[in-house]
């Protein structure tokens, strides 16, 4: 299992190396024309914190590749982990200017474009969705205790909603704050999808403002006892505090 995980991390790191190489090919031609052959390159990468381990692998592998293939050309890469929501705020405020932006999920791209249009009035997006490349998939899972699930047979979001309507069951549910955390944002989208019967990729604002869907979401969230900022914190809290604190949590796998 450890070898398999290392192989997966290596393949994902190789994908990022390919992206960097493609970027640099285009960057070199422009840099040569504008700077008369000067090839000092600086890249800033903003990425979601859960990618930290394999981003480090990708960085080390790419720098080894660069030294072997471009011994006389210097390059520097600054990598900074950011929460997806925090990175959007910093980009809009002009605090950071990433060459490569890698949020936790592609769902943040239209959100950034919408905020960019509101801020600048420009019809041109700051990020083109079609140009984005998906490298890694991190599914959202429903975490619960084995005995609890054996009793209630939870298989999806609708089961959690229906369980909340059962007054004989004391459900204590949690997910992260959707305004701050990717897993919370995705959990709400998946809940809305389950409640409306609409695939998540087809959801629109009208689905969210629909009174019937809002009632369903209110019932779904009625058992929530906390909204954490970190998925890792919720997992640790559930583990350390036991069944009396939380019995259903939405987490990254």
Which pLDDT tens digit goes with each residue over 185-197? Answer: 899 999 999 999 9
Check residue 39 and give its pLDDT: 60
Cβ–Cβ < 8 Å for 16, 53? no
CA 142 to chain centre: 17
Closest CA to 79 of 65, 100, 63: 100
> In the predicted model, is pLDDT for residue 204 greater than 60?
yes
Domain boundary assignment for the chain: 2-131, 140-252
How far, in Å, CA of 87 to CA of 111, rounded? 12
54-109 pLDDT per residue, tens: 889 999 999 999 999 988 889 999 999 888 888 999 999 999 999 999 988 888 89
> In the predicted model, is pLDDT for residue 233 greater than 90?
no
Across the range 36-45, mean pLDDT stands at 74
* SS3 category, 77: strand
Check residue 132 and give its pLDDT: 83
Check residue 34 and give its pLDDT: 47
Average pLDDT over all residues of the chain:
84
Q: In the CATH scheme, what is the code of domain 2-131? A: 3.40.190
Check residue 21 and give its pLDDT: 47
Across the range 30-39, mean pLDDT stands at 48
> In the predicted model, is pLDDT for residue 19 greater than 80?
no
> In the predicted model, is pLDDT for residue 16 greater than 90?
no
Confidence of residue 5 (pLDDT cuts 50, 70, 90): very low
For residues 191, 134, 205 and 83, what is the CA-based torsion angle, rounded to 10 degrees? 80
β-sheet with 173-174: strand ranges across: 140-144, 248-252, 173-174, 224-226
Check residue 245 and give its pLDDT: 94
Check residue 134 and give its pLDDT: 80
| Predicted TM-score of the model (pTM) | 0.68
Cβ–Cβ < 8 Å for 40, 94? no
Percent pLDDT > 70 in the chain is 85
Cβ–Cβ < 8 Å for 38, 6? no
156-195 pLDDT per residue, tens: 999 999 999 999 999 999 999 988 788 898 999 999 999 9
> In the predicted model, is pLDDT for residue 129 greater than 70?
yes
Cβ–Cβ < 8 Å for 38, 31? yes
Neighbours of 62 (CB within 10 A): 22
Query: Given this chain, do its domains 2-131 and 140-252 carry the same CATH topology?
Result: yes
236-249 pLDDT per residue, tens: 999 999 999 999 99
Strands (E) across the chain are located at: 41-48, 75-82, 100-102, 140-144, 173-174, 224-226, 248-252
The CATH class, in words, for 140-252 is alpha beta
């Amino acid at each position: 299992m450890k070898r398999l995980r290392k192989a997966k991390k290596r393949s994902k790191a190789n994908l990022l190396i390919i992206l960097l190489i493609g970027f640099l090919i285009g960057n070199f031609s422009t840099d040569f024309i504008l700077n008369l052959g000067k090839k000092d390159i600086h890249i800033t990468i903003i990425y979601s914190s859960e990618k930290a381990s394999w981003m480090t692998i990708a960085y080390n592998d790419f720098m080894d590749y660069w030294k072997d293939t471009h011994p006389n050309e210097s390059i520097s890469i600054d990598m900074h982990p950011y929460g997806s929501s925090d990175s959007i705020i910093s980009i809009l405020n002009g605090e950071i200017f990433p060459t490569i932006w890698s949020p936790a999920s592609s769902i943040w791209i239209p959100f950034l474009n919408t905020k960019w249009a509101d801020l600048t009035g420009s019809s041109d997006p700051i990020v083109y969705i079609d140009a984005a490349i998906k490298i890694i998939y991190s599914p959202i899972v429903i975490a619960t205790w084995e005995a609890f699930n054996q009793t209630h047979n939870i298989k999806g979001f609708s089961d959690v909603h229906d369980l909340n309507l059962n007054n004989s069951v004391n459900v204590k549910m949690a997910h992260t704050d959707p305004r701050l955390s990717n897993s919370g944002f995705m959990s709400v989208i998946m809940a809305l999808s389950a409640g409306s019967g609409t695939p998540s990729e087809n959801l629109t604002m009208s689905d969210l403002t629909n009174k019937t869907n809002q009632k369903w979401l209110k019932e779904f969230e009625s058992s929530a006892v906390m909204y954490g900022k970190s998925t890792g914190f919720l997992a640790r809290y559930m583990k350390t505090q036991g069944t009396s604190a939380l019995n259903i949590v939405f987490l990254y796998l």
